[in-house]
Amino acid sequence: MTARIIDGKAVAATLRAGLAERVKSLGFAPGLRVVRVGDDPASGVYVRNKDRAAQQAGFDSATIQLPEDTTEAALLAVVRQLNEDPAVDGILVQLPLPAHIRADAVIQAVDPAKDVDGFHAINAGKLAIGQPALTPCTPKGVMHLLAAAGASLRGARAVVLGRSNIVGKPMAALLLAADATVTVVHSRTQNLATECRRADILVAAVGRPELVRGDWIEEGATVIDVGINRLPNGRLVGDVAFDEAVQHAGAITPVPGGVGPMTIACLLENTLEAAIARRGA
Ligand SMILES: Nc1nc2c(c(=O)[nH]1)N[C@@H](CN(C=O)c1ccc(C(=O)N[C@@H](CCC(=O)O)C(=O)O)cc1)CN2
């Protein structure tokens, strides 16, 4: 079997075009502010791409760039100012932050109504108990990809590889809400390969280049690769050994061009949702 490739760039472009149409009909431009601290080069690329995508879709978007030696107190003051600004609907603090800043303190300082990353404990808690919430962009993007691929989730065995607050845990909650039977596995799980082989739907989000081999994949399974790992030779690979996996999966996302573009499209979707909820539009 050779898997069908799930084209994240195309799905993201369609989602962004639909959002741009909805923004046009709003009569105001939803406000997004992305805060970047320091000079991490990958973050620089992601933040520029977010800003460009937001502006193209008609959002009022700007990046606030702060120096590497910004103190936690100074960053918290910026977040508080954005919380108070009525023109701002969505706030995102780009991660990773420099080591001297406690990321969690910053995440919990964002007004939950403007938390377009969906990382605040209020939004994470609502998602966990099945209430409407701003939902983390990457797992939300995965759900869009699964829908675009025609994956049927009800009663399917879904395995999430990774247990981060940003991807693994919210991913499991979203799949559970869609009636999948969900197992979360991680670096300490015994017999990872055997666990993964049980999956009809496998979401790999563990941050280990090409950890998932072809023989970890059930014939015909849908494989979503959230990993974005840069090898020393500069090549970008996922958490799944794509050339092997494509021989077993029924459908698979590539890296690049799979989940990554969806993360940005879903940030715009969250910002529009936050704007509508805040302004009663
Ligand atoms: N505050 C947040 N920080 C981070 C998040 C997040 O959701 N919120 N996620 C990641 C980075 N990220 C968005 O911020 C992100 C990563 C990758 C892509 C993407 O489009 N990747 C391309 C490849 C790009 C390349 O060449 O490097 C792809 O996969 O096709 C978008 C967004 C960590 N931080």
Instruction: Please report the atom of ligand 1 found closest to the CA of residue 256.
Output: 30
* Nearest alpha carbon to residue 34 among 76, 78, 92: 92
- Please state the pTM of the whole predicted model: 0.98
Q: Is 260 a pocket residue for ligand 1 (Cβ < 6 Å)?
A: yes
Q: What is the CATH number of domain 29-114?
A: 3.40.50.10860
Instruction: Estimate to the nearest angstrom the gap between the alpha carbon of 161 and the chain centroid.
Output: 15
CA–centroid distance, 245 to ligand 1, in Å, is 23
The predicted structure's pLDDT at residue 205: 98
Q: What is the CATH number of domain 136-259?
A: 3.40.50.720
Distance CA 75, CA 93 (A): 9
The predicted structure's pLDDT at residue 275: 98
The answer to whether residue 24 is catalytic is no
**Positive or negative CA dihedral for 3, 198, 206, 140?**
positive
pLDDT at 157 exceeding the cut of 90? yes
Mean pLDDT of 237-243: 98
pLDDT at 281 exceeding the cut of 90? no
The predicted structure's pLDDT at residue 76: 99
Residue indicated by tokens 């992305």: 34
SS3 sequence of 194-208 = HHHHCCCEEEECCCC
Q: Is 256 a pocket residue for ligand 1 (Cβ < 6 Å)?
A: yes
CATH 3.40.50.10860 residue ranges in the chain? 29-114
Q: Is 91 a pocket residue for ligand 1 (Cβ < 6 Å)?
A: no
Distance CA 8, CA 103 (A): 29
CA–centroid distance, 27 to ligand 1, in Å, is 30
CA–centroid distance, 236 to ligand 1, in Å, is 12
Mean pLDDT of 255-266: 98
The predicted structure's pLDDT at residue 229: 97
Closest residue by Cα to atom 23, ligand 1, is 256
- Own/partner pairs for 215-220, CB < 8 Å, 24+ apart? 215/244, 215/248, 216/192, 217/245, 217/248, 217/249, 218/248, 219/1, 219/248, 219/250, 220/1, 220/249, 220/250
Catalytic residue, candidates 94, 114, 115, 239 = 94
pLDDT tens-digit map of 88-134: 999 999 999 999 999 999 999 999 999 999 999 999 999 999 999 99
Helices 137-148 and 8-24: angle between axes, nearest 10 degrees? 110
> What is the share, in percent, of the chain residues with pLDDT greater than 70?
100
Q: Coil, strand or helix: which one is 238?
A: coil
Is 164 known as a binding-site position?
yes
* Confidence tier at 1 by pLDDT (50, 70, 90): confident
CA–centroid distance, 74 to ligand 1, in Å, is 25
The answer to whether residue 114 is catalytic is no
pLDDT tens-digit map of 160-202: 999 999 999 999 999 999 999 999 999 999 999 999 999 999 9
Rg (CA), the chain: 19
CATH 3.40.50.720 residue ranges in the chain? 136-259
Q: Is 117 a pocket residue for ligand 1 (Cβ < 6 Å)?
A: yes
> What is the share, in percent, of the chain residues with pLDDT greater than 90?
99
The answer to whether residue 9 is catalytic is no
Element (H, E) at 176: helix 168-177
Distance CA 168, CA 57 (A): 29
Mean pLDDT of 248-266: 98
Distance CA 102, CA 167 (A): 19
The predicted structure's pLDDT at residue 121: 98
Q: Which residues, listed in sequence order, are joined to residue 225 by a DSSP beta bridge?
A: 204
Q: Is 207 a pocket residue for ligand 1 (Cβ < 6 Å)?
A: no
Is 228 known as a binding-site position?
yes
* Nearest alpha carbon to residue 267 among 21, 36, 40, 57: 57
